Amino acid sequence: MRHTSKSFGKIENMLMLTDYRVRQRDYLLEIARALTSRLDVSEVLRLILGASLAMLGGEVGLIALREPDDRFRARASVGVPPEKLHVFKPLLESILIENGDIQYSQLDLKMRLVARALDMRLRQAITLPMVMGGQILGVVFVFRSYVGEYSANDQSILQSFADQAAIAVHNAQLYERLSAEQQRLSAILEHSADGVLIMDASQRIIGFNKALERITGWRQAEALGQLHDSIFFWERVEHGQPLGAALASGWAQRPQADEDEPDTRYVEGDLRRRDGSRISLGITYTALFDDDGRLQNIIANVRDITHFRRAQEAKSAFISAVSHELKTPVALIKGYASTLRREDAHWDEATVQRALAVIEDEADRLAALIDNLLAASKLQAEGMRLTQVSEVDLVELVSRAVERFQTQSDKHRLIVELPPDLPTIRGDEMRLRQVFDNLLSNAIKYSPDGGEIRVTGSFDEQGVTISVSDQGVGIPPEDLPHIFERFYRVDNALSRRTQGAGLGLYLANAFVKAHGGRISVESTLHKGSTFHVWLPRPLA
């Protein structure tokens, strides 16, 4: 028997009731039953402590559990106000584990200190170690104001109680650890950026994480218990087979011969969301089997591939736009040049001049496009660096650009309203010219009915703002966040017939950013757009 009882101070007589032992045994049985049905550590400890105090007639009780570093920490107490719990610290520190056995150093002294600190007339401390499978799990301390003695029978009752208690604590601790682990796993699944769907063998949904709510528009509570096909409905399948078809063709009938190779199926396409809208998804289904080779679960990893799709679409739109952009001027140049060269024809001077002017314009356009392409690929490869930084007079730079563009269109009225005292900034003149050329060229391109194109400016201590506004087609709000992306073009009738590779704004944005500036846009559909370029002023 490893429990110890110590007395201190003057020994007092203990009142012994005749039926005490009978009550003790009944109580013990009742408690043992209650203990084995509890899985909550705190509740188990409360029960143990309550029973110990009742059996031993104690007034103050404490249970300390052993921590992984072999220290003992108070986990439950009775008869001690929470703010006084610290008085047990020296007592808990006096517990030593030696050769797998429990020892207390100066238990008497520590006890007296506790009694004094609690301002109570406690005279005896009984310690009940809780041991399971040779492992010490913790200690129950019972303090009472009288000194009692134990018979061999008392001791055996206490011992069997302590054994029961140890088992109950052990079980509850295991359960606590398991639930914590399970909670951690669920949290990982719940907060995974990709959708995670768990189904039983009959494709009924038993797990549906947060990301799936966002992806499908269905709430978790609505989806749980539903069949896969009532939530996942493909509008269009681009690769692979939907789950139903894969299962019908024999997938997931039995475990794969190679167990290391997961048995998966991939399907990609457009799914119908709850509100009827579409979303591009890639779903990987994995089949899980039990030990008898029966299908147990199907897990689906659901990935939103909208961005990837958009990039792919932009790329192919870019390739067709660029080849069109390159082919048109080349065809014009070639056409005019071979016409001029015809030996059987004698062209008058005016015709020759007109043809040469077209050739020159088209060659300029080609050169500008090639510039943009090179700048974009350079930007992609090595980022943006300004090479030739000097003092730039924006009034002059913008006015010259406007003059050049005015000669290209008589449908548009280009107006410059810049404050004459607009300060100069430090920048790369060639890059800045490209920025305003792109903005002006867009303003003309995307206002096919003509109208005013106005360039205004303002400044303060921090920087200079130049705005270019047009009265053109405007930009739909859903496209606004994307127009500065590489190869992005708004898809409408006008953009389909106007030339462009979706690089102008991407480059303008990169160039302005390289100057430490910002570019932004405001637009109203069918009314017009305004692009603001803000460039920082050098520090005074």
Name the site residues for ligand ADP (rule: CB under 6 A): 438, 442-443, 446, 470, 472-475, 483, 488-490, 495, 500-506, 529
- Which amino acid would we find at residue 302? V
> Distance from CA of residue 367 to its chain's centroid?
44
Supply the minimum distance, in Å, between the C-beta of residue 428 and ligand ADP.
Answer: 19
Closer to ligand ADP by CB, 166 or 501: give it.
501
Which candidate, 48, 47, 79, 86, places its Cα nearest to that of 61? 79
Closer to ligand ADP by CB, 247 or 468: give it.
468
Supply the minimum distance, in Å, between the C-beta of residue 447 and ligand ADP.
Answer: 7
| Helix H or strand E encompassing 379 | helix 349-382
d(CA 249, CA 439): 56
Tokens linked to 499: 């030339």
* Neighbouring-strand partners of residue 220: none
Which candidate, 352, 324, 353, places its Cα nearest to that of 496? 324
Supply the minimum distance, in Å, between the C-beta of residue 183 and ligand ADP.
Answer: 48
Residues whose CB is less than 8 angstroms from the CB of residue 40 and which lie 6 or more positions away in sequence, other chains included: 172, 176
Contact (Cβ atoms closer than 8 angstroms) between residue 160 and residue 143? no
Closer to ligand ADP by CB, 302 or 453: give it.
453
Closer to ligand ADP by CB, 275 or 417: give it.
417
Supply the minimum distance, in Å, between the C-beta of residue 326 and ligand ADP.
Answer: 13
d(CA 375, CA 434): 11
Nearest-5° Cα angle at 458, 455 to 460: 160
Q: Where are the alpha helices (DSSP H) in 263-346?
A: 306-341
Supply the minimum distance, in Å, between the C-beta of residue 320 and ligand ADP.
Answer: 12
Contact (Cβ atoms closer than 8 angstroms) between residue 490 and residue 476? yes
Supply the minimum distance, in Å, between the C-beta of residue 250 and ligand ADP.
Answer: 48
Closer to ligand ADP by CB, 129 or 500: give it.
500
d(CA 142, CA 144): 7
Which candidate, 515, 514, 505, places its Cα nearest to that of 484? 505
Closer to ligand ADP by CB, 138 or 500: give it.
500
* Collapsed DSSP state (helix, strand, coil) of residue 130: strand
Supply the minimum distance, in Å, between the C-beta of residue 486 and ligand ADP.
Answer: 8
Closer to ligand ADP by CB, 101 or 313: give it.
313
d(CA 495, CA 262): 47
Closer to ligand ADP by CB, 28 or 508: give it.
508
Measured in Å, how far apart are the chain's first and last C-alpha atoms?
A: 86
Supply the minimum distance, in Å, between the C-beta of residue 434 and ligand ADP.
Answer: 11
Supply the minimum distance, in Å, between the C-beta of residue 448 and ligand ADP.
Answer: 10
- Which amino acid would we find at residue 476? P
Tokens linked to 79: 């008869």
> Distance from CA of residue 92 to its chain's centroid?
44
Closer to ligand ADP by CB, 49 or 490: give it.
490
Task: Report the chain's C-alpha Rg in angstroms.
Answer: 41
Which candidate, 199, 302, 212, places its Cα nearest to that of 252? 199
Backbone angles phi, psi at 340, to 5 degrees: -60, -35
Closer to ligand ADP by CB, 198 or 521: give it.
521
Supply the minimum distance, in Å, between the C-beta of residue 474 and ligand ADP.
Answer: 6
Which candidate, 168, 160, 167, 134, places its Cα nearest to that of 55? 160
Closer to ligand ADP by CB, 164 or 529: give it.
529
Q: Which residue is closest to ligand ADP by CB?
A: 500
Supply the minimum distance, in Å, between the C-beta of residue 508 and ligand ADP.
Answer: 7
Supply the minimum distance, in Å, between the C-beta of residue 465 and ligand ADP.
Answer: 17
Contact (Cβ atoms closer than 8 angstroms) between residue 231 and residue 223? yes
Closer to ligand ADP by CB, 336 or 506: give it.
506
